[in-house]
Structure 1
Amino acid sequence: MGQNGEELGNERYDQFETGLKTSWLNDRLRFNLTLYKINNKDINLPVYDDTWTNILYYAKGGNDQRQGIEVELTGRPLENLEVIAGYAYIDAQYKDHTSYVYGSAPLNTPKHTFNAYANYSFRSFLPHLSVGAGVYFTGERPINDWSSGPVTHEGIVPNQKPFDVDAYTLVNFQAEYRFDQNWSLQVLVNNVFDKIGYNAYRTSYINQTDPRSFAGVVRYNF
């Protein structure tokens, strides 16, 4: 119900999506491209008091728009090489909104993300050894929504622009050696270059990425 007890009515979701799929090298390598636009309109939002604990009433939102592209490349271009790569760009903005600043981005929404992974097996001179590495990039993104009106979520301070969490890139490495059909040993190195990044959500938490770590895994297949 609204501030004066009125019904708020229906919410509306509009989504447009198109794309392209293709394969190369006798279907050993696949490529996907997706373009999309999503509009969420007239969403019912709770309005909190100054302590962020009690819901006073519900109010209509405006137009939450998200549009962007996603690109994905997967497959085995060689018998002993596996690759996975992906990139996403998202332009997310609040449009004509009752609570949020026009053109501002939703919390925790990076414009750019990228990931790539490759695994190579040494079949010719070391047939039991394989090595792999992955790169994972997360772009900068706001820690909270930028509100110019009612408080609709915990941690929001009206008319205070939230800061952006910095972008970061992580690199992971792995190597596996198979002794026979049953036994294998795997070595993992996460965050190879010991980079520091942060993940945040409103004022609830700001967590640092895990530092460089090493692990070993012994497997036996029955």
Structure 2
Amino acid sequence: NTTTNESKLNTLLGINKFPGATWQYQTNEMLTSTVTLNHEINSNWNFNTIAFFQDYTRDFYGTERIQWNLQNNGDYVWKRTLNKQLQEQKYGSLQFNLNGQFNTGKLNHKLLVGADADYLQADTYSYQLQKQDGTFADAGNNFVYGTNGNTSNGNILLSDENTWKSGEMLNSRQKDLNRIPTRRVGIYAQDLIAITDKFKVLAGLRWSYLENKNTIVENYLNNTKTYKASSGNPKESAFSPRVGLVYQIDDSFSTFASYSNSFNPNSGRDINNLPLPSSLIDQYEIGLKKNLWKNTLAFNITAYQIENSNLAQTAAFDKNGNINGDTNIKEMTGATRSRGIELDVTGNPTPNLSINAGYAYNNMVYTDTPDSEGSFVEGERLVRTPANTANASIFYTLPKYVKGLKLGFTAFYTGDRLAGWNNLKDKNGNPKTNRMYEIGDFTTVDFTIGYQFKKFNVQGRLGNIFDVVDYNVHENYSVNPINPRNFYLTFNYKF
């Protein structure tokens, strides 16, 4: 029976008869606006202001990720849930910067002083869907979607093809609105000091203030409005230092080391629709830069360590214990550490030839998690993060025949990754059942072509030339195929 069901499963997936509904949709709209003002006070000092606004909307109605299990009789039973959700984010920011250079004795200073502020309003509208009997039920993980819209008959059986079909679009009504307002203010100063011609010091300090205002819950069914306080500290502030050293051995060779601390607000909300606490991130770097062959090639190598005090990831379950399909609902999973090395080479060996190549190694693990049952396992590598990645590209502009025609090839390599979920501890602190699996490495190659004549420009790209099949991995069981062979062509005219 198991062999027969696996054959049916492959057939079912191969002909795309599920998991989605034939009518489902997702519409994403984003509007952005930026205004920049630059003012030169004199030859040594300048001032700039940047104002930014963004309005983002996601309107979704359709099936969520399929959930399945194997029955005792050898048949697969799939649970197809139906969800309708509207999300809107309004984000505005304002930034001021004053840049200048001056001398104090033999020391040369390049000073940056500035301030910024932003405001985010994140709205999430939830819905109820009408069942076959006329009653309404909450959309989401509890609403199992069958061929007739009846929540009691929504499972897909591989042994019964009648259950593979999707039903009609169901009527819906708006249930409630969750609004999370957040505001942030920052003041910073940074000074690059040239102590000698070869030795420079960078020192900076930032003060950040974050306020998670009360979450507004407006229920449209009973016409009520309530306010929920943040689950963590609603008001957070932190000083973030930055220090860097640069030693230039000669005109073509320099070394550097740096440390920075950042106060990182986390987007999304917890299972109770409340804003998430922020994370503190410490980053250490050391490296060197070398120019080769009369500065036609630049060689950089950097080693780093990044420590995150508390990583926010998509929650595995919602507050009712159901599998969570909303990537905006997150949980704080524990402290992590990333250690790695980055290597890149860029240059123009000839006026018409441009090359770029890079390699990166990264090892990201949990370093500190709660001792309680159900927390993540310390020392375990995080899913979705490939250990090895690399890229290489070459571009050539024809000097004659079709002068200005630019041709190029780019290759991307992604190493093996872990997919699934990271494992959880049992009551004794040991890992439970392994929830991770490996995804192999892959390489894609793109071809690009471009031509510019006076004010007219045309560009084209053929992506994934060899039509490689592989997958993008996220921090949960979401594993999506990469883009197949694709192409685009753009035309531009500058007035």
Q: For residues 182 and 59 of structure 1, what CA distance do their matches in structure 2 show?
A: 51
Query: Post-superposition shift, 1:97?
Result: 3.8
**1:5 equivalent in structure 2:** none
Distance 1:147 1:30, change over 3 A: same
1:64 pairs with 2:336: yes
Which amino acid is the alignment partner of residue 165 of structure 1? I
Q: For residues 279 and 297 of structure 2, what CA distance do their matches in structure 1 show?
A: 41
Relative CO higher for 1 or 2, CA cutoff 8 Å, sep ≥ 6? 1
1:20 pairs with 2:288: yes
Q: For residues 44 and 195 of structure 1, what CA distance do their matches in structure 2 show?
A: 32
Unaligned runs of 5+ in 1: 3-9, 151-156
1:216 pairs with 2:489: yes
Query: Post-superposition shift, 1:44?
Result: 8.7
- The answer to whether the 8 Å contact 1:146/1:158 transfers is no
CA offset digits 1:124-146 (Å, max 9, x no partner): 44423220111011112112442
**1:76 equivalent in structure 2:** 348
**2:442 equivalent in structure 1:** 168
Query: Post-superposition shift, 1:212?
Result: 0.9
1:89 pairs with 2:390: no
Query: Post-superposition shift, 1:200?
Result: 2.3
Distance 1:43 1:190, change over 3 A: closer
Question: More strand per residue: 1 or 2?
Answer: 2
Q: For residues 170 and 191 of structure 1, what CA distance do their matches in structure 2 show?
A: 5
Distance 1:207 1:60, change over 3 A: closer
Aligned length: 203
- The answer to whether the 8 Å contact 1:146/1:159 transfers is no
Q: For residues 418 and 352 of structure 2, what CA distance do their matches in structure 1 show?
A: 41
Alignment of 1:43-62 (within 5 A): 50-52=321-323, 61=334
Alignment of 1:111-190 (within 5 A): 111-149=387-425, 158-178=432-452, 180-190=453-463
Query: Post-superposition shift, 1:84?
Result: 1.8
Q: For residues 487 and 368 of structure 2, what CA distance do their matches in structure 1 show?
A: 49
Q: For residues 173 and 187 of structure 1, what CA distance do their matches in structure 2 show?
A: 8
Unaligned runs of 5+ in 2: 1-230, 233-277, 325-330
Q: Which has the larger radius of gyration?
A: 2
Q: For residues 18 and 184 of structure 1, what CA distance do their matches in structure 2 show?
A: 41
Which amino acid is the alignment partner of residue 132 of structure 1? G
Query: Post-superposition shift, 1:60?
Result: 7.9
Question: More helix per residue: 1 or 2?
Answer: 2
Distance 1:185 1:65, change over 3 A: closer
TM-score calculated relative to the size of structure 1: 0.76
**2:184 equivalent in structure 1:** none
Query: Post-superposition shift, 1:217?
Result: 2.5
The alignment yields a C-alpha RMSD, in angstroms, of 3.2
1:34 pairs with 2:302: yes
